[in-house]
Structure 1
Amino acid sequence: MDLIDTHQHLIWRDRLGYSWTEGIPALATGDFTPEDYQAQTKGQGITGTIFMECGVDDADYQAEARYVATRVGGDGILGQIASCRPETNAGFDAWLDECDGLQVKGFRRILHVVPDEMSQSATFRANLKKIGRKGLPFDMCFLARQLPIAADLARACDGQPLILDHCGVPDIAGGAFDDWAKGIDRLAALPLVSVKLSGISAYCAPGTAGVDLLRPWADHVLNRFGPGRVVWGSDWPVVLLGAGLLPWIEMTRGLLASLSTDEQAAIGSGNARRIYRV
């Protein structure tokens, strides 16, 4: 099963600010570059990556996308998912237009670190629809408790392709399955919502992540969305807070082993090519 990594973060500290990494020892220092990623994944079946905006300091989010655009086409990078600010009209249209020339395949605004009300505003939703009119998807990053908000956003933005990052951030360590599963069910009922199998090893208690522990959560996502609406991502280097990059790749293959070859191919790379148009 070949893999397109739809959630590759990269960190260049001499160029951009990453205040969110402060206090996280595994991420607080050093760079995480395409060269580092390629060295770690050699021979693992990664056929390409899509850079995911890395939550840089607000002043830097456009500079990040402009720099990443210069790296697309090298080191296996197929395109990027850029940050945006749909909550404000000021400069939003101009940023979308500029991104036409920056190899942007989708957009994201991290929503679990801002007030819940942000994605509920008329301005946010009107601007999100502009992304859809450009034929581009929007990655939703919500916590499990926010999945009803995610479903409300999806219903209000009919016609906008959406991808739920990290399986909706389930509390696997706390065993909080039922409410999360209900939220997944609501989102899966909406045909333009897909889900990203990524990040979930970091939501396990330290040292416990494995195929057996993750299987009920992954199976629920796979059963509800179906193989045609699931994409894969590593969440590197944040995955270092969970199982680590290579173990997560191995776990992914184990979690998908019971699927047909065609279904594995769709999740591994085919759906990514279609949704992100790479």
Structure 2
Amino acid sequence: MIVDTHLHLIDLSALRYPWLAGVATLNRDFRYEEYAREAKRSGISATLHMEVDVDPAEMESETAYVQELAEQPGNIIAGAIAACRPEEAGFATYLERQRQNPFVKGFRRVLHVLPDELSEGTLFRENIRRLAGTGLTFDLCVLPHQISKAIALADLAPDVQFVLDHCGVPDIKGGTAHPWREHMAEIGRRDNIMVKISGVVAYADPDGWTVETLRPYVEHTIESFGWDRVVWGSDWPVCTLGGGLSQWVAATHALLAGASADERAKLLSGNARRIWKLV
């Protein structure tokens, strides 16, 4: 069975998502029921909800919304990666509130759509270091040219567990391996960083990708990090831009056909259960 570490839910009646105004294909409801039906048929037994960059005033409301869903019978949501603003003075207080809630497993601040300087700020870095010893992870969502920024952040907070999203966001459609390939090899040398095998179908040609299109990027990612530091994510509903959840699950199994049973188990569920202490 699979643990999906990267699910987004969108409910336009419950929360505000300012960025969706510029992404027409995703600017609709993508609710739990739609995801769960396909996920359970695909072998997904548990999932972590990933923050969806809601209006900053609604960050805690998003967590509460997802937690209420998770408490319903038969729900497979096992926790949440919550939104945060480490660049703000109120982060320390926010962190202490979230630490009281075991449903919160980590945090993310989307960086790939923001100025590179954000993660270089003194306050940002001081606040990220506050995660040391909490058991809470911090997801890094950066573009290939920003991976060096992610490396610097991880080096300054060696006791924090980071998670690099979406194989480092390679330009699969454009077939561009540089500087992504070199940066992935370098960031993979940091023991305090894991990586998600996720998102890649959205970066490929939606009408023309095959398993072999994805293979060089997925295999290089695994080689760079090793089997003990890889987890799997659907990136639903963003994955619908490249074919959808079922196609990505099928492609994943094909990509892992040559791996051992132990290696597949680590990537698909074992590492996620260990890192986020999932039952």
- Normalising by structure 2, we get a TM-score of 0.95
What is the SS of the residue equivalent to 1:22? helix
For residues 99 and 154 of structure 2, what CA distance do their matches in structure 1 show?
A: 24
For residues 117 and 141 of structure 1, what CA distance do their matches in structure 2 show?
A: 15
For residues 198 and 141 of structure 2, what CA distance do their matches in structure 1 show?
A: 11
The count of aligned residue pairs is: 275
Partner of 1:171: 171
For residues 241 and 19 of structure 2, what CA distance do their matches in structure 1 show?
A: 14
- The one-letter amino acid paired with 1:18 is Y
Partner of 1:122: 122
5+ unaligned residues in a row in structure 2: which ranges? none
Conserved in 2, the CA contact under 8 Å of 1:231 and 1:272?
A: yes
Conserved in 2, the CA contact under 8 Å of 1:138 and 1:162?
A: yes
Overall identity of the aligned pairs, in % = 44
For residues 133 and 67 of structure 1, what CA distance do their matches in structure 2 show?
A: 27
For residues 232 and 208 of structure 1, what CA distance do their matches in structure 2 show?
A: 23
Deviates more, 1:40-49 or 1:79-88: 40-49
For residues 199 and 109 of structure 1, what CA distance do their matches in structure 2 show?
A: 17
For residues 166 and 132 of structure 2, what CA distance do their matches in structure 1 show?
A: 21
- Return structure 1 stretches of 4+ with deviation > 3 angstroms: none
Conserved in 2, the CA contact under 8 Å of 1:79 and 1:105?
A: yes
- The one-letter amino acid paired with 2:52 is C
Conserved in 2, the CA contact under 8 Å of 1:209 and 1:243?
A: no
- The one-letter amino acid paired with 1:41 is A
What is the SS of the residue equivalent to 2:68? helix
Cα distance, 1:73 vs structure 2: 4.1
Partner of 2:135: 135
For residues 79 and 142 of structure 1, what CA distance do their matches in structure 2 show?
A: 23
Deviates more, 1:68-77 or 1:52-61: 68-77
For residues 69 and 44 of structure 1, what CA distance do their matches in structure 2 show?
A: 23
Conserved in 2, the CA contact under 8 Å of 1:26 and 1:240?
A: no
Partner of 1:267: 267
What is the SS of the residue equivalent to 2:26? coil
Partner of 1:240: 240
Which string of whole-angstrom CA distances, capped at 9 and with x for unpartnered residues, describes residues 48-76 of structure 1? 00000011122222211122222234410
- Normalising by structure 1, we get a TM-score of 0.95
- Aligned-pair Cα RMSD in Å: 1.2
Cα distance, 1:114 vs structure 2: 1.2
Partner of 2:56: 58
Partner of 1:41: 39
Which string of whole-angstrom CA distances, capped at 9 and with x for unpartnered residues, describes residues 1-22 of structure 1? x110000001111111112122
Which string of whole-angstrom CA distances, capped at 9 and with x for unpartnered residues, describes residues 71-102 of structure 1? 2344101000000110112x212211221243
For residues 41 and 92 of structure 2, what CA distance do their matches in structure 1 show?
A: 41
Conserved in 2, the CA contact under 8 Å of 1:173 and 1:205?
A: yes
- The one-letter amino acid paired with 1:233 is G
- The one-letter amino acid paired with 1:169 is V
Partner of 1:4: 3
For residues 73 and 248 of structure 1, what CA distance do their matches in structure 2 show?
A: 27
Q: Flag the 1:205–1:43 CA change in 2: closer, same or farther, 3 A.
A: closer
5+ unaligned residues in a row in structure 1: which ranges? none
Matches within 5 A, 1:1-278: 2-29=1-28, 31-74=29-72, 75-89=75-89, 91-102=90-101, 103-278=103-278
What is the SS of the residue equivalent to 1:177? coil
Cα distance, 1:36 vs structure 2: 1.1
- The one-letter amino acid paired with 1:12 is D
For residues 40 and 164 of structure 2, what CA distance do their matches in structure 1 show?
A: 28
Which string of whole-angstrom CA distances, capped at 9 and with x for unpartnered residues, describes residues 189-208 of structure 1? 11111100000111112312
Deviates more, 1:190-199 or 1:55-64: 55-64
- The one-letter amino acid paired with 1:52 is M
For residues 154 and 73 of structure 1, what CA distance do their matches in structure 2 show?
A: 34
